[in-house]
Chains A and B, each alone.
Chain A
Amino acid sequence: MVVVEVLKKSLKKHPEGYVELRYHKRQTFNISVKDGKIDTLNSGAVEGACARVLINGSWGFASSTTLEKEKIDKMLKDAVSLAKSSKPKKKRVAKLASLKPHVDRYETPMKKDPGKAGKEELVSLVIDVDKAVRDFSKTIVSDTVTFNIVDDNLAFISSEGSEIHQRIVRCFGSVTVVAREKGNIASAYESIGEQSGLEVLEKTPLMNVGLTAAERASKLVSAKVAPAGYHQVILENRIVGLLAHEAVGHCAEADLVFGGSFLANKIGEKVASEKVTLVDDGVFPNGFGTMKYDDEGVPTQKTVIIEKGVCKSFLHSRETAQHFGVNPTGNARAWNFEFDPIIRMRNTYIEAGDYTLEELAEDIKEGFFLKGGLSGQADFNGEFMFGTQEAIRIKNGEFAESMRGVTISGNAFEVLKNVDAIGKDFIMRVGLCGKEQINYVGMGGASLRTKVLIGGAK
């Protein structure tokens, strides 16, 4: 790659401190059909490079979308001068855990490389889903169906001698449906996606989730909001990843641990029921957050955060690993070349158990089966929340009527302690997480039983 040669030349001229240069070209293709009409048919590329330098314990960062030699030299100089000029104002001296340099290449394993696919076929697929969704019920007034391909070409070179090239391809789609009836309105949302080629459309057809969303919206349009209170619930497999991510994952990020998150000082301690094994996995096959190397050039790994209820590890960058005296876990990720890497999850999940859905419901006298995720957030005192779309009432072990889902919340400690049964219906899903910068993550798990506070109606 020509750009990488330019970066290498620039790197040679600036031997001061630790330097890493990243190149990133993100090619995207988006289709969106709204109410039977093509709204978006987009294609394009965003390309750029960045320099991050560490001089005497002080970081400096600069990025550029212009990739000529002079601009790259200037970018590196800017980063160096920022590191030096900001040094007197920083109290912390940053140090990195040692790392063996890697020279390697990685590419998302793909059966159907979307780079070679015809666009017409994809357009007609999205149009078909849109039509089926609108035909599902008379109550459906509006829908949006999207399909997206994000093809990332990444290069990482460092003054320690690493040179890593990665091509990461992600395909994902979504369906939003709005239903109306007699002055009531309800919406539903579902998505598919993974890190792979277009074969994702065969494994998890967009049509299926489209119809799930259509069914949910038309069912909920005349439904009431679920009642408020502290209830025993089953979280559907599709939303257990939100629990893993929001309730636990964030609190295991070493930067938040440092600030005093609820997992701070808990390594080796029991923090959850022994049913719970919770993992952040950088190498999960086809995971939305899978990479062979993170954006500091560290090989990723399967990191067990909680094993049978006991806290085992945090998620680290090279800098926090050095601070905590452990090995980096490969969790330093950057959204694109405009950002320096920060500690992020990759694919976070709770391992499956052996219950069926019926068995999970059996012991619930009065509770809810919560389905369909919405956005979530975590506080580092352990309090988390995430939205659900549908709440199916459970009475004496039997599923009853559907109600509108609402936001649920709880304290991670308590909710994990109260997990008393986990299903066998494991799935891995796509997610987008915002923490200073956004990033693609995987979220997974199997349906499980616990207790949460439901922020519902009176």
Chain B
Amino acid sequence: MSLLNFAELAVKTCQELGADETEAFIQNQQIVEVVLERAEIQNERFKTQSGIGIRVIKDKKLGFAFASKLSKESIEETCKEAISLAKVSVPNPEWVSLPSKERLPKTPEGIFDPEIANISGDKMLNLVINAYDAAKGYDKRVDIDDGKFSAILNEIAVANSHGVEAQEKTTRIEGYLVCVAKEHGETSSMAYEYDISTILKEFLPEKIGRSAAEKALSSLHPKTVESFTGKVILDSDPASFILFYPVISSVNADNVQRGRSLWAGKIGEKVAASKLTVFDDGLMPKGVGSLNFDFEGVPRQKTPIITRGKLEGFIHNSFTANKEGRKSTGNAYRESYNMLPMVAASNFVIKAGKKRLDELIAEVDKGIIVRRFSGNVRPESGEFSGIAKQASYIENGQIKHALGETMISGNAFQALKNIIDIGCEIRPTEIRAYTPPILVDNIHIISKQ
């Protein structure tokens, strides 16, 4: 039986058991993984995982049950559990309906690579060794601490009682290394580097190794500077977490509707510097979050979020869209089959600027560059504070020295308005935001001095 057959069986079973509406979501993953620990290859893993999540609605009451076993008997049992949970639940007056069947767009290009789907354990090890050798070969002072490389084949299927049925396969390869540099009894801060791609050919393990090594080395022999408020270049990763995690949270329609977004009622208003344009693109070729349908089976699309600093729109799943009588933007997402769909970005793309990172640095008279951020960001209020890691002090357009024991703090929503310039080197980050380096003004730079 195909995944879709199992999903259809679950829908049919629940409807026969008396559900008003049913949705089944199935996920099957095959993962080949290599783990580095204590500076060496520790282990290689083959993993398969699959499961089904069944959502039923009865008299506006919701029940959800899941199981990791895909068999006729297990699905029947899970259907019964979902229905019994719906019975003890309380009606949600805001419930309208599961999505109805729509024509799906073409499958985005470059989201499935048979070379990743069929990767051997040996090939995977070689990729890791390439990264490892690149880091070790970069400089003798560099040590690798840990890392992990994973090749993932992900197959999903979704069906519901309104005739939605969709099934697709995607692939992804990702890897990271953590390096430190050691010299004269001093250990640098931990430097992290990663790459992620849907296509094997475009995955660059050597680059991970070199860049992790370079970052570790450049954070040796740190100094502190007196606290000041001023310019900060946030590299892609910290820019994504500090600036765009609050943005994603604030344009999530669920947060908007629940009073958790400062941007509620602000569509059309200026929320950021004019240089900033942001969209959510679920159909982007080779996007790590791309697919022709979302995890409720609704067509994915490209949704404008911020255009030249002006707030354009929010992202919805079918529940939040129904509440407002509008169409879902195809942003239903589940971390796993055992979770209900929530609203999430697909590929959150920040439009690239023109300058390379070195050109951004050249623009700064006095400021710092932060390449890793170890801290907390409050998504509702936009407050952020934390340690600036792999950070350097910049004066007159030149990097002067590494910074140690230095924190940065500020407010993301203020910072969006204080964007001076946007870099051109875009990369996908952990929160699926395709982010370039960003130069921002008015950030607090804090040291003990």
Question: Which A residues are within 8 Å of any B CB, using their own CB?
Answer: 28, 34-35, 37-48, 52, 59-66, 75, 78-79, 81-82, 85-86, 89-92, 94, 119-120, 123, 127, 141-142, 178, 180, 183-187, 225, 228-230, 255-256, 258-260, 320, 338-340, 342, 374-375, 377, 379-381, 383, 385-387, 404, 406-407, 409, 411, 436, 453-458
Contacts and interface: CB of A to CB of B under 8 A. Distances in A.
A387 B407 CA distance: 13
Contact of B383 (A78, A142, A375, A404): A404
26 contacts: A42-B85, A45-B66, A47-B68, A65-B69, A82-B44, A86-B41, A123-B90, A141-B259, A142-B258, A187-B260, A187-B381, A259-B180, A260-B180, A379-B389, A380-B145, A380-B180, A383-B189, A383-B387, A406-B385, A407-B409, A409-B386, A454-B446, A455-B385, A455-B446, A456-B444, A458-B229
B90 A259 contact: no
A446 B291 CA distance: 50
Interface string B50-68: 1101000000011111111
Contact of A456 (B69, B190, B409): B409
A45 B78 CA distance: 9
A38 B90 contact: yes
Contacts of B40: 90-92
Given A256-B145, A385-B386, 12 more contacts: A42-B85, A42-B338, A44-B53, A44-B66, A82-B44, A120-B88, A142-B260, A225-B409, A228-B227, A342-B37, A383-B405, A409-B387
A255 B260 contact: no
B85 A82 contact: no
B103 interface: no
Q: Across the A-B interface, give the 3 residue pairs with the lowest CB-CB distance, nearest first.
A: A141-B259, A44-B66, A387-B376
A35 to B, nearest CB: 6
A374 B143 CA distance: 31
Contact of A42 (B48, B65, B386): B65
A210 to B, nearest CB: 17
A127 B65 CA distance: 20
A411 B405 contact: yes
Interface stretch (B121-129, B163-171, B277-285, B296-304): B121-129
A91 to B, nearest CB: 5
Interface in B25-49: 35, 37-49
B62 A38 contact: yes
Contacts of B122: 85
A45 B81 CA distance: 11
Nearest to A389: B378
Interface in B378-417: 378, 380-381, 383, 385-387, 389, 405, 407-409
A338 to B, nearest CB: 5
Contact of A338 (B49, B63, B66, B90): B49
A374 B376 contact: yes
B407 A228 contact: yes
A79 B188 CA distance: 36
A409 B386 CA distance: 7
Given A38-B89, A44-B66, A178-B380, A62 B45 contact: yes
Contacts of B389: 379
Contacts of B378: 187
A387 B381 CA distance: 15
Interface string B151-185: 00000000000000000000000000000101000
Interface of B: 35, 37-51, 53, 61-69, 78, 81, 85-86, 88-90, 92-94, 121-122, 125-126, 129, 143, 145-146, 148, 180, 182, 187-190, 227, 229, 258-260, 262, 338-340, 374-376, 378, 380-381, 383, 385-387, 389, 405, 407-409, 444, 446-448
A407 B377 CA distance: 9
A451 to B, nearest CB: 10
B85 A379 contact: no
Contacts of B63: 41
A134 to B, nearest CB: 11
A90 B129 CA distance: 10
A40 B340 contact: yes
B380 A185 contact: yes
Contacts of B189: 379, 381, 383
Contacts of B407: 228, 407, 409, 453, 455
Given A37-B94, A387-B376, A455 B386 contact: yes
Contact of A65 (B42, B68, B129, B188): B68
B48 A65 contact: yes
Contacts of A62: 45-47
B22 to A, nearest CB: 15
Contacts of B49: 48, 63, 65, 338
A259 B374 CA distance: 20
A230 B387 contact: no
A142 B190 CA distance: 38
A385 to B, nearest CB: 5
A78 B378 CA distance: 44
B64 A41 contact: yes
A59 to B, nearest CB: 4
Contacts of A89: 41, 125-126, 129
A63 B409 contact: no
A46 B338 contact: yes
Given A34-B258, A42-B64, A436-B148, A228 B446 contact: yes
A63 B386 contact: no
A399 B53 CA distance: 50
A258 B56 CA distance: 51
A55 to B, nearest CB: 12
A42 B47 CA distance: 25
Contacts of B260: 141-142, 178, 185, 187
A414 to B, nearest CB: 10
A60 B44 contact: yes
B337 to A, nearest CB: 9
Contacts of A65: 48-51, 68-69
Contacts of B448: 230, 453
A406 B408 CA distance: 11
Contact of B262 (A45, A183, A386): A183
A30 to B, nearest CB: 9
Nearest to B375: A407
Contact of A406 (B35, B47, B67, B383): B383
Most interface-central of B41, B122, B148, B407 (chain A CB within 10 A): B407
B46 A61 contact: yes
Nearest to A184: B381
Contacts of B94: 37
A44 B67 contact: yes
A86 B42 CA distance: 10
Nearest to A28: B338
Contact of A458 (B53, B381, B444): B444
A387 B126 CA distance: 39
A123 B37 CA distance: 43
A37 B180 contact: no
Contact of A185 (B81, B126, B381): B381
B380 A381 contact: no
Contact of A119 (B39, B64, B85, B258): B85
Nearest to B48: A64
Contact of A86 (B44, B78, B143): B44
Contacts of B48: 63-66
Contacts of B69: 47, 65
Contact of B446 (A46, A92, A229): A229
A34 B342 CA distance: 13
Contacts of B408: 455
B334 to A, nearest CB: 12
Contacts of A123: 88-90
B375 A387 contact: yes
